[in-house]
Amino acid sequence: MKNKIWLVTGISSGLGKALAKSVIEKGDFVIGTFRHESQVVEFNKKNLKNAKAILLDITDEKNIDNSIDKIISEYGKIDVLVNNAGVGFVGAIEETSMQEVRSVFEPNLFGTIKLTQSILPFMRKEKKGHIVQISSHGGIKGFAGFGIYNASKFAVEGFSEALAQEIAPLGIKVSIVEPGPFRTKFAGNGLGLAKNKIDDYSQTAGAFRTKLKSVDGKQEGDPVKAAKAIIGLVNSENPSLRLPLGKVALMTIGMKLDSVKSDLETNRKVAENAVYE
C-alpha cells in the first residue's frame, strides 16, 4: 500500500473528525478510534474503502498494545500516529480534587505516552514514521482556571520534545500541534469542570470558566483548515517540531516567549552569580 496509513485517536468529533475526513479525502488510509462500540459500528457501516474504525480506550494499556498488534498484523505498518484523544478541564488548582487531576492526566498524558511507546518498535523497524501530538497553546502558556489541563499539555510538550531528539537519528519525526480556541465541542458538554467551587477564585478561575463556556461555538479556529495544515505538515520534507494554529495561539505563545525572555534578562546577573568561582 503506497498511501500512508494514519492512526488517529478520537475521531468522533472536533479536530479528530475533521482530520480523519480530510485524510480520507486525500486518499490515504485512516484507522480512527472511538470510545463506544456503537460509534465503531456506525462508522464501519459506511464501508469506506480507505478507512476503518476501531474501539480503543487510551487509558487501558492492554487495550492499546492489543490494538497496535492487530493493526500491524492486518496492515503491516502505521506511517502516522496522531495522538488527538483527550479531555478538557476547568477549575482552580485548589478547587480540583486529586481524582479529577488523575482523570485528566490518564488520557491526556499517560495514554498519549503509552500509545507512543507501543508504536515506536514498529516505526524503528521501518526506520520511518511521524508522530503528531495534539497539544494546545495551553501547552505553552498557563491560564488561571486551566492549570490542570495546562499541566497535562505542558507534560506532553516536554516528553515529545525529548522524544524528537531521541528518535530523529532513527528516521522518525515528531510534531507538536498547538491549536488555540477552535470551533469544536471542547468548550461544550464534554468540558470537565471541578465539582468544588471556592468564591475567592470567582474573579480568576471562575471568570475563565464563564468565558470559555460563553465562546462555545464562536471560536475563531476552523477544524477543517487545521486538518489541512496538519496534513501539510506531515507531508513536508522538513516538518517543524511545533505547529501553532490560529491567531489566538500566535498571540498567547508570543506573550509567553516575551515573559520568559523578560524574566531571563531581569535575573541574568543573579543566575550568573549562582555558580562556583
Q: Say what percent of the chain tops pLDDT 70.
A: 94
Mean per-residue pLDDT for 200-211?
Answer: 88
Write down the mean pLDDT value for the chain: 93
Share above pLDDT 90 across residues of the chain, in percent, rounded to a whole number: 84
- DSSP summary character for residue 196: -
242: which strand partners?
A: 176
Q: What is the pLDDT of residues 229-262, one digit of tens each?
A: 999 999 999 999 999 999 999 999 999 999 999 9
Quote the pLDDT of residue 189: 64
For 83-135, how does the pLDDT look when each residue is reduced to its tens digit (9 = 90+)?
999 999 999 999 999 999 999 999 999 999 999 999 999 999 999 999 999 99
pLDDT value at residue 209: 85
What pLDDT is attached to residue 48?
81
Q: Treating both helix axes as pointing N-terminal to C-terminal, what angle do 147-167 and 98-105 enclose, rounded to 10 degrees?
A: 40
Q: Is the predicted pLDDT of residue 196 greater than 60, yes or no?
A: yes
pLDDT band at 214 (very low <50, low <70, confident <90, very high): low
pTM: 0.94
Mean pLDDT of 29-45: 95
Residue 217: what pLDDT? 62
Q: Which residues are catalytic?
A: 12, 135, 149, 153
d(CA 151, CA 122): 30
Strands (E) located in the chain? 5-8, 29-34, 51-55, 80-83, 89-90, 129-134, 172-179, 192-193, 242-245
Please state the CATH superfamily assignment of the domain spanning residues 5-246 in this structure: NAD(P)-binding Rossmann-like Domain (3.40.50.720)
Looking at residue 1, its pLDDT comes to 45
Residue 75: per-residue pLDDT = 95
* Banded pLDDT at 180 (limits 50, 70, 90): confident
Residue 224 has pLDDT above 50, yes or no: yes
Q: Which of 108-122, 137-151, 202-216 has the lowest mean pLDDT?
A: 202-216
Instruction: Indicate the range of 37-41, 46-50, 161-165, 201-205 predicted with least confidence.
Output: 46-50
pLDDT at 183: 62
